[in-house]
Structure formats: C-alpha cells, structure tokens
C-alpha cells in the first residue's frame, strides 16, 4: 500500500506534491501509521501498487487502473475537501 499525505485539498486531484509518502506491505488489520506529517488539515489517499513500479498506473484517459483508497466516502467530483483529517501534536 502507498499512502500520500497532502496539505492542500486541491493537490490530491492531480496526485502531485505530497508532503509525505509512506509504503507498507498490506496487513490484516488495515491499520497503518504515517509518521512526520506535521499538524493541521491533511488529506491521505492511498493506492495498491500491484505491479510495484512506484507509481499509480492510469489508463489513456487518466483514470487509475490500480485500486485506490479515499476517505469518508469521497466521490471524486471536485476537490477532496470532504475528506480532510485534523492532526494535532499528541
């Protein structure tokens, strides 16, 4: 699994400029810890890099061909402002 943390809800629509990227083997409980993302509002999408080439593969119309994970039942119809997390220092 690849997770990318973004501090801009607009950057996620192009999957560009994450503030942090973390890669994990898939685990049974589905819990992953992404360290060092700072504080404030962030958005964290993820994808399963099935062929392990280090990128989110897309088809000719720029639609992902690998499984993606979005939060809070987000449906991609605009900026991902519906799925931010608020992080603190604890």
Dist CA 9 CA 22 (whole Å): 18
Neighbouring CB atoms inside 10 A of 2's CB total 20
Q: Where in 2-81 does DSSP place strands (E)? A: 2-5, 20-23, 40-42, 46-47, 68-69
pLDDT per residue, tens digit, the chain (90 aa), is 898 888 766 666 666 678 888 999 988 887 888 888 877 777 888 888 999 898 888 888 888 888 887 665 555 555 444 344 555 544
Q: How far is CA 4 from CA 8, 28, 33, 60, 61, in A?
A: 12, 20, 12, 23, 22
Q: Please state the domain extents for the chain.
A: 1-90
Report the alpha-carbon distance of residue 15 to residue 28 in Å, rounded. Answer: 26
């Amino acid at each position: 699994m690849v997770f990318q943390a973004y501090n801009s809800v607009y950057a996620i629509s192009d999957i560009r400029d994450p503030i942090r990227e973390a890669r994990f083997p898939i685990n049974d409980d589905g819990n992953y810890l992404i360290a060092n993302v700072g504080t404030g509002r962030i958005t964290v999408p993820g994808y399963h890099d099935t062929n392990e080439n280090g990128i989110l593969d897309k088809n000719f119309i720029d639609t992902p061909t690998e499984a993606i994970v979005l939060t809070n039942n987000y449906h991609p119809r605009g900026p991902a402002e519906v799925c931010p997390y608020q992080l603190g220092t604890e």
